[in-house]
Structure 1
Amino acid sequence: MQNNYFLFFIAMLTGFAFIQLPVAGTIFSGLETFLDVVGIVIVIIFAIAIVWKAAQALFKG
Structure 2
Amino acid sequence: MARKAEELVRAAESLYLHGPAHQQTDPKGGDVIVPGGMFTYQIIVRSERLYVVQIAYLGF
Normalising by the smaller structure, the TM-score range is: 0.3 to 0.5
TM-score, length-normalised on structure 2? 0.34
Between structures 1 and 2, the one with greater helix share = 1
Task: Pick the structure with greater CA Rg.
Answer: 1
Between structures 1 and 2, the one with greater strand share = 2
TM-score, length-normalised on structure 1? 0.34
